[in-house]
Chain A
Amino acid sequence: MKTVVVLSGKGGTGKTAVSASLAALEAATGRRLILADADVDASNLPLVLEPTPGEWHEFVGGERAVVDGDACTGCGLCAEHCRFEAIRMDTSSDGEDRARIDPLACEGCAVCDFVCPDDAITLVPCVDGEWMVGETRFGPLVSARLRAAGENSGKLVTQVRKVAAELAATRDADLVLVDGPPGIGCPVIASMSGVDLVLAVTEPTPLARSDLERLLRVARHFQVRVAVVVNKADLNLELTRDLTSALASEGVPVLGTLPYDESVVLCLGRALSPAECGGPMGEALASVHTRFEQVLNELEGAAQDAPVVGSSPPPSPDSRTSETP
Chain B
Amino acid sequence: MRLAVASGKGGTGKTTLATSLALVWDDVGLVDCDVEAPNAHILLDPEVISSSEVTVPVPRIREDVCTHCGDCAAFCRYHALAVLPDQCLVFDELCHSCGGCYLVCPVHAIEEIQRPVGRIVEGHRGEIPFVQGILNEGEVQAVPVIREVLRRAPATRDVILDGPPGASCPVLAVVEAADVVLLVTEPTPFGLHDLEAAVAAVKERGRPMAVAINRADWGDDAVRRFCDAASIPVVLEIPHLREVAEGCARAVPLVESAPALRPALLDLRCRLAGLAREAAA
Contacts and interface: CB of A to CB of B under 8 A. Distances in A.
A62 B103 CA distance: 21
B278 interface: no
Interface string A249-286: 00000000000101001001100000000000000000
B140 A186 contact: yes
B37 interface: yes
B249 A153 contact: no
Interface in B143-195: 164-172, 188-190, 193-194
Interface string A75-111: 0000001011000000000000000000010011111
Could you say which of A8, A16, A43, A321 has the most chain B C-beta atoms within 10 Å of its C-beta? Answer: A321
B201 A149 contact: yes
Interface in B103-133: 103-104, 115-116
Given A154-B140, A185-B36, A218-B137, A81 B103 contact: yes
Interface centre among B39, B116, B246 (most CB of A within 10 A): B39
Contact of B190 (A16, A206, A322): A16
A288 interface: no
Interface in B57-104: 75, 77-78, 89-93, 96-100, 103-104
Given A41-B165, A114-B104, A185-B135, 6 more contacts: A9-B37, A109-B98, A110-B100, A115-B103, A181-B166, A206-B249
Contacts of A111: 98-100, 103
Contact of A42 (B9, B137, B205): B9
B55 interface: no
Contacts of B15: 207
Given A109-B98, A111-B98, A114-B100, A322 B93 contact: yes
A217 B218 CA distance: 35
B250 interface: yes
7 contacts: A107-B96, A114-B103, A182-B10, A184-B37, A207-B15, A217-B137, A236-B249
B33 interface: no
Nearest to A235: B249
Contacts of B170: 183, 185
Contacts of B258: none
A195 B76 CA distance: 28
Contacts of B273: none
Contacts of A324: 116, 136-139
A205 interface: yes
A247 to B, nearest CB: 17
A204 B38 CA distance: 17
A72 B200 CA distance: 32
Contacts of B188: 265, 268-269
B220 interface: yes
Nearest to A44: B190
Contacts of A268: 188-190
A184 B137 contact: yes
A151 B168 contact: yes
A291 to B, nearest CB: 24
B248 to A, nearest CB: 6
A211 interface: yes
A11 interface: yes
B249 A239 contact: yes
Nearest to B251: A206
A210 interface: yes
Contacts of A40: 168
B77 A83 contact: no
B99 A81 contact: yes
A161 interface: no
B8 interface: yes
A218 B9 CA distance: 22
B239 to A, nearest CB: 13
Given A41-B167, A149-B204, A12 B11 contact: yes
Given A108-B77, A110-B77, A325 B138 contact: yes
B137 A214 contact: yes
Contact of A205 (B104, B141, B168, B249): B249
Contacts of A153: 166, 168-169
Interface centre among A146, A185, A218 (most CB of B within 10 A): A185
Given A47-B193, A207-B15, A324-B136, A83 B99 contact: yes
Nearest to B199: A148
Contacts of B9: 11-12, 42, 44
Given A149-B204, A185-B139, A47 B189 contact: yes
A232 to B, nearest CB: 8
A145 B90 CA distance: 31
A260 B245 contact: yes
B39 A183 contact: no
Interface centre among B93, B98, B135, B250, by most chain A C-beta atoms within 10 angstroms, is B98
Interface in A166-219: 181-189, 203-207, 210-211, 214, 217-218
A12 B99 contact: no
